[in-house]
Amino acid sequence: MKIFGIGLNKTGTKTLGQCMSVLGYKNKSYDLELLRDYSQGDYLRMIEVSKMYDSFEDWPWPLLYREFENQYPEAKFILTTRIDVNTWFKSLCMHAERTGRTEARKIVYGYFMPQENPEHHIAFYNSYNQRVVEYFSAKPGKLLTICWEKGDGWEKLCSFLDLPVPTIPFPHLNKA
């Protein structure tokens, strides 16, 4: 079964990727080349790459949740979120300050730096999460919405995946 992490960046995607690896999934994370393909409307390589892995998170994977749900009818989807939109935006800005202008942010959000248009980014986050929840609302058991900051962890994740809870501590990565 394929597991797609479809939360936006800076929502705990790296933590999810580490969790999936611990649980035995072969995980695929961020891939700028595939994100470039996405920006050109070319999804073929993404589909091919998706055949080689069990779980996915970070760009470009959240952008095509509908297509992957059609490609893999048995797949499950995990929407990672932050405790609130302002916390997410602050994290996005801090990341942008560390990394500088990135092609990935330009492709996804339309801006190299989130500080260039805070209102756009906040609206993007809210709208994206709402669209995901609405899309999966009539598909019970397909979507888990999870927030590490609210204390979600192994129990909630493993219950959704019908897996035993690991005995190792929960791997909360990139904790600000």
| Domain ranges (residues) in the chain | 3-161
Which fold is adopted by the domain 3-161? Rossmann fold (3.40.50)
| pTM for the whole structure | 0.96
Which string of b and e fits 81-93 if b means at least 16 CB within 10 Å? Answer: bbeebebbbebbb
List CB contacts of 112: < 8 A, sequence separation 6 or more: 101, 102, 105, 106
Q: pLDDT class for 173, splitting at 50, 70, 90?
A: low
In the chain, % of residues over pLDDT 70: 98
